[in-house]
Amino acid sequence: MFLFVIISLLSLVTQSSQQKDPLTNFCRIHSHQTAIVDRKLIIDGGIVNWAPISANPLNYTSTWLKSGDLDVKKQGFPRQSILAKNDSVPSVHGGILWPDTANKLVYQYGGDYGDGKPTDFKLWYYDIVYDTWNISDASTTDTRRASWGAGATAQDRAQGFYYGGYLTNASVPGYNTETALSNMLVYNMLDGSFRNQSGPDDIPRAEGVMVYLPVGDAGMLAYFGGIEIRNDTKVGVPMKEIRLYDIGNNRWYQETASGDVPEDRRRFCAGATWADDRSSYNIYLYGGASIGEGVGFGDVYVLSLPSFKWIKFWPRPEDNEGSTLPHHSLTCDVIGNSQMIIMGGTFPNTTDCDVPVIQGQHGLDLGKQNGDGAKWASYDPSLTTYKVPQEIAQTVGGGPTGGATALAPTSGWQQRDLSIQFGRAYTPGTRDPTRDFPSATSTPTSVPSLEPVKSSNKGAIIGGAVGGAIGGLIVIAAITACLLWYKKRRNSQPTRRGSELQAQSISYPKSPAISDHQNFYYPPEASPPPPLRTWGDFPHHFSPDNKTHYAAPHPQLSPNHTSPTAPSYYSPISPPEPGPTMHELPIVRSPMPIHTLRPIEAPANSIDPYFAQHPPSPPRDAKFQESID
């Protein structure tokens, strides 16, 4: 018994001296949330794996906030650094960041707590100017935190949107079931209010994507993919079904896409850009998890509007690309309308780290404007315009600057009003900040109330070192006392049998298939497609491909795309290591087809007080009937 105690104490001492740095010890990240504000790519939360995986075969909740500087490159991609975030700020995965670009703030909404112990919802926001976290004055009494929904932001209207998702016991305290949602939550950043907006119908959906498009009277949101609940069963949303929300008129539309329609998928990422003349709006999609059996996807498709044509962008036969590396639960961020940084993801069929020297970043040149005309390229801060690539132009017509000739769905418009909206290019106005910023030469006179844990706090570092030294002496003294007591006791007692001694040996938890509510560790090297809650456990299927992936997640680099060299990192200190996550994803390897779920016990409006007290505004054209001019 005392040998076990001694070993455990020594283990604690060893662990405390092996704190992990989210930059230097990076291996992989997934299920995080990102946003771009003030030329910074903000990266919050998620789940991380440490390098090397062989020594750290666990998933950990990321408790850090990171920033990629869009004006400073390291190894061809934005240089990342650590920002302020203390233990009181939620560390979640499967949520969203709503950026307020005018006030240089980022709001954190949604997501599951990594430890499965959510607290009452409060709307936290990060202040980029002061490097602090604060709690919004928004009334959140009747608002609940959902996870794995789809979100977007309309900057000119200062509105954040979140459609669908789940309420679970990892996102809502005391929740005893899982409820998929059919409504859309709208947050007004100016007056700090939430409102509930009806979805396109009453069907609950989750794990799809939503992007903002500057079209129509006041902009539109396009939603596709993911899963939906039909007859108490989760099924894939057909990728040909495109739902659009007219922000200015609070109205939903639906159209059917054609062309190279992708396979149904979920937990992929997407970003939008458009031609100079607005004749085409092009949404680039990457990756995703399978709906049923399979390891997922590692391809790129483009949905071009208003033709509603799906186009396979990569890999195509002319790319001479072999197999791809499927992964999901990743992020896509479009920069300067011209390039998209695809970050992270969980890989079902490889044990490799995800280019750790650049923290899992991959660059997709949306218009192939790099010197090689390549689709995958390093990040270029000077690239700020978009050129329609040949792969899209040959389908919708026109050329690099626009001039598309396919301006309607192949089978015609299901709703004529939508065709009118797509005939109106919308130019969002520039919103003025509602607060003052300190000048470059002045010292701020007031700082938000929450005092962050600064990574450069010398006093904290020294105090931590002294405290650690004292703590170490106490532990050593305790070990010495235990050894002396144990030696005296052993000399006064007969030696125990070998079987009794063997029973004191340390055992380690294995990795069985687990339910959503069991707490086991499991190895991340074959991180599975995320569970549809009823999938079974199957063996790993590893890929023999062990190449390092620099630009594309599975690239063939030109000679001009040099391989990364030994990195120079920019973390001021090594932040405390978080405990391993116990409530991420069950050990599901290659999922079975979807089975019937338990019935949803009650609709969302009877479970969530917010829906009960704030009934949604009725949707116009809720059944997608064609309106009369």
What is the secondary structure of 27-38 as a DSSP string?
A: EEEES-EEEEET
Residues 352, 539 contacting (CB under 8 angstroms): no
State the virtual CA torsion across 560, 563, 568, 572 in degrees, nearest 10.
110
Please give the pLDDT value at position 565: 28
Please give the pLDDT value at position 439: 81
Please give the pLDDT value at position 233: 94
Measure the CA–CA gap between 46 and 90, rounded to whole angstroms. Answer: 11
Please give the pLDDT value at position 54: 82
363 DSSP 8-state letter: E
C-alpha distances in Å from residue 44, one per residue of 47, 346, 573:
10, 16, 18
Burial code (b: 16+ CB inside 10 Å, e: under 16) for 544-570 equals: eeeeebbbbbbbebeeebeeeeebeee
Please give the pLDDT value at position 4: 45
Kindly state the helix (H) or strand (E) to which residue 108 belongs, with its residue range. Answer: strand 105-113
620 DSSP 8-state letter: B
C-alpha distances in Å from residue 167, one per residue of 30, 47, 110, 268, 605:
20, 19, 9, 20, 12
pTM: 0.74
Contacts of 549 (CB under 8 A, 6+ apart): 325, 352, 354, 355, 362, 555
Please give the pLDDT value at position 313: 99
Please give the pLDDT value at position 39: 97
Residues 118, 170 contacting (CB under 8 angstroms): yes
Contacts of 229 (CB under 8 A, 6+ apart): 180, 203, 204, 205, 235, 597, 600
Kindly state the helix (H) or strand (E) to which residue 487 belongs, with its residue range. Answer: helix 458-491
* Token reading at 456: 């450069």
Please give the pLDDT value at position 139: 86
Please give the pLDDT value at position 141: 83
Contacts of 94 (CB under 8 A, 6+ apart): 31, 110, 111, 112, 147, 148, 329
pLDDT tens-digit map of 197-239: 999 999 999 999 999 999 999 999 999 999 999 999 999 999 9
Taking 70 as the pLDDT cut, the residues of the chain under it are 1-18, 441-629
What does the DSSP assignment read for 211-276? EEE-BTTT-EEEEE-SEEEETTEEEEPPTTEEEEEETTTTEEEEEE-EESPPPPEES-EEEEEE-T
Measured N-to-C along each axis, helices 2-16 and 458-491 cross at an angle, to the nearest 10 degrees, of 160
| One-letter amino acid of 133 | W
Measure the CA–CA gap between 255 and 306, rounded to whole angstroms. Answer: 10
State the virtual CA torsion across 543, 549, 554, 557 in degrees, nearest 10.
-140
Residues 571, 359 contacting (CB under 8 angstroms): no
Please give the pLDDT value at position 131: 97
